[in-house]
Amino acid sequence: MTDTEQKPEHAPLGRRLGFAIGALATGLLSGLASELLTQSLDSGGWIQRIGIALTVVLGVIAIVYNAPAVLKAIHRARRGRVVTTSELHLAAEEAEQWMVALGTKSGGIDAAEWYAMNADRLRGVLESGKPGPENADDLARICDALELWYVRQADPDALLELSEFLRTVGEGCGRNDLKELAAARAATAYRMTGDLRSATLWLGISSELATSGRTAAAMTTRRQVERALSSLHRAAGTSAGSDRNEALENARNRLDDARLRRPGPDLTAEITILVNLAVVQLYRHDAEGAVDQLHAAIGRATAAGDVSGEAHASELIGVAAWMRRNPREAEGWWKHAAQLNADIDDREAQARCLQHLGSAQAVAGNLQKAAEYLAESAGLRTSDSPLLTRYLKEVGDAAPAPQSPAPAPRLSWPARFRSWLRDRRSH
């Protein structure tokens, strides 16, 4: 289908050009990133989660929950039957609607439950569908929905498999736009693993495949933000000095360019960029400047109904408060962020906030409370956290000696921030 041909109206169609908030610098927002957000491409959206039409879409969500026609398609796929074009379309419609709901106040918990029950089955639908020009868009929409979930679950291997599948569909159908997106998605997956060299390679491939259609500006913006995230990862892996300064400057320039190039007004795009710019400022020890950006992000998240974006911004305000030697304020923001994440059932993000709270209690010498927070964090985790493992060990080693407790783990705020950002690399 060419860019000039009429396509069906799908509110979250532009999602395929986005990435999740949980995916922020460290995965903040789309979500870092992203735990993720959108609008229709035709109305200017580009990231993966929430669009202007969100209110209308959410009204449909309760009705389509576990739609019999979609479940029928899934069950047939599990029996090895090839899914028909109409069945695939219904599955894509439902997946797209739940993708919009994920991370929102109105439907976040139900959406997380739906994904947990149906993500593997959606993969079965993909594998049972016969790729062709008539269903390429529906296959891509299911891939979009799964990308959001895999980023949130910190599963780069599954995301890489998804990228390969979409690339194969694009090659089989002669769709460079799908191959372009698949390459960008591979870059995200490699960045999540810390393989920045491969991430850069795939971003280059995506650029070479770039089309000049209606999605061109959105894809350019995605690549710029992805390059900014890679630069922030490089900053996290280097000590203070010229190399880090160069990486931070590059990240800031990429984000500024992304803000200028984004295709039209989009609250969720603004949230993603603001949060990442705040991370740059935190690295530069400019806590006040970061907080200004983050409060602006919270305002936009509230307007967009993006609870995930609000949670990530709140979490980072807590980091800024810790930098300013205000642990009480930091803990207040982390508790708030933890509750927001619990409200949308984002367990990884909730676990991260509980980890912050546990380490803060350890620094204060409250080892029993620290152990409670850290144990709760560990129970929610679905991915490894070396920093959490370290804190659990240190608190456990210190706890048996209440009369003369061993020193709690004390890190300077720059060290704590670097450790926090490294811990978020997989998102």
pLDDT digits (tens, 9 = 90+) for 5-34: 333 334 333 333 443 322 333 333 222 222
pLDDT greater than 60 at residue 58: no
Check residues 66 and 256 and name the one with the higher pLDDT.
Answer: 256
Residue 104: inside a domain, yes or no? yes
Domain count for the chain, please give it: 1
pLDDT in tens, 119-161: 999 998 888 877 888 889 999 999 999 998 998 888 999 999 9
Find the mean pLDDT for residues 340-363: 90
pLDDT in tens, 170-220: 999 999 999 999 999 999 999 999 999 999 999 999 999 988 877 788 888
List the single range of 76-85, 101-110, 221-230, 388-397 with lowest mean pLDDT.
76-85
Residue 4: inside a domain, yes or no? no
pLDDT greater than 90 at residue 400: no
pLDDT of residue 416: 56
Find the mean pLDDT for residues 354-374: 88
Residue whose structure tokens are 């200004």: 292
For residue 182, give the DSSP letter: H
CA angle 277, 411, 404 (to 5 degrees): 155
pLDDT of residue 50: 28
| Packing angle of the helix pair 85-101, 108-128 (nearest 10 deg) | 150
pLDDT of residue 82: 63
The span from the CA of 76 to the CA of 91, in Å, is: 12
Residue 176: inside a domain, yes or no? yes
Residue 327: inside a domain, yes or no? yes
Question: Is residue 383 within 8 Å of residue 351, measured between CB atoms?
Answer: no
pLDDT in tens, 84-117: 878 888 999 999 999 888 887 788 889 889 999 9
Residue 2: inside a domain, yes or no? no
| CA-CA-CA-CA torsion sign (344, 156, 334, 362) | positive
Q: What is the pTM of this model?
A: 0.72
pLDDT of residue 397: 62
| CA-CA-CA-CA torsion sign (143, 218, 174, 13) | positive
> What's the CATH number where 80 sits?
1.25.40.10
pLDDT of residue 220: 87
The span from the CA of 392 to the CA of 400, in Å, is: 13
CA angle 163, 165, 171 (to 5 degrees): 100
pLDDT greater than 90 at residue 280: yes
pLDDT greater than 60 at residue 73: no
Find the mean pLDDT for residues 381-402: 64
pLDDT greater than 90 at residue 54: no
The Cα-based distances of 86 to 1, 63, 70, 134, 139 in angstroms read 18, 19, 10, 10, 12
Residue 7: inside a domain, yes or no? no
pLDDT of residue 24: 34
Residue 8: inside a domain, yes or no? no
- Domain span at residue 47 reads 13-423
Question: Is residue 225 within 8 Å of residue 53, measured between CB atoms?
Answer: no
Find the mean pLDDT for residues 393-409: 52
Check residues 290 and 269 and name the one with the higher pLDDT.
Answer: 290
pLDDT of residue 35: 26
pLDDT of residue 276: 92
pLDDT band at 413 (very low <50, low <70, confident <90, very high): low
pLDDT of residue 252: 95
Find the mean pLDDT for residues 321-344: 94
Residue 103: inside a domain, yes or no? yes
Q: What percent of the chain has pLDDT over 90?
A: 38
Find the mean pLDDT for residues 226-254: 89
The Cα-based distances of 314 to 40, 111, 284, 326, 361 in angstroms read 27, 22, 19, 15, 19
pLDDT in tens, 291-324: 999 999 999 999 888 899 999 999 999 999 998 9
